[in-house]
Every structure is written in structure tokens, then in C-alpha cells.
Structure 1
Amino acid sequence: MKMLRIISYAGLVAVAIMLLVAMCAILEDSVISHRAHRQELTGSTLSSPGLDHFS
């Protein structure tokens, strides 16, 4: 019975880690697309240090 509890907690930890990795990937993709959209609007490939909030 104790082994089943340990296995279930390990499974929950694995699911939590997978969700964290997925959220980080989604956030990174969002930041990349935001930067690309901002550069498209300004027509510049150089970013201003004062306006770059994600670096």
C-alpha cells in the first residue's frame, strides 16, 4: 500500500514537471512572436535597450 502511494506521488510530480515545461515553451513562443511582431511594425531589426522589456 505504501509503494502505491509513492508511485502515485511520483506520477503527480512528473505531471507537474511536464506542465511546467509546456508552460515555459508556450511563454517563450509568445515572447518570440511578440518581438517579431514589434520589429515588423517598426520596420527595424535593432531593438532599443530602454524599450526591450524581455531581455
Structure 2
Amino acid sequence: MKRKRILIPLILLILFVLYLNRDALNPFAPDCKNLPANQPKPEECKKPVKEVAPGFEI
């Protein structure tokens, strides 16, 4: 009984950490750090432009 009490939160913690790192663990994502200089960046590597609410522009 005590083993089960420790094991369930441990499994939940491991699953939560894996969920937080799901982007880094994706084997199909392009490697954005090692791109050749003469090739354009794929769309997945470009950082999204943050939309600003009207009236908050500087």
C-alpha cells in the first residue's frame, strides 16, 4: 500500500515533466540550431510575431 502511495505521484510527476518538454522531445521537428547559412529557415523555425492589441503600440 505504501509503495503504491509513492509510485502514483512519481508517475504523475514524470508524465508532467514529459508534457512540459513535448516540443523538445518531438523527433519530427526540424533542427533549428544546425541550419546551413545559405538555406532559408523553415516556417517552424521562425519565431511568431506577437500580435499587439490596438492602442498599445509604442
> Scaled by the length of structure 1, what TM-score is found?
0.42
Report which of the two has the higher share of helix: 1
> Scaled by the length of structure 2, what TM-score is found?
0.41
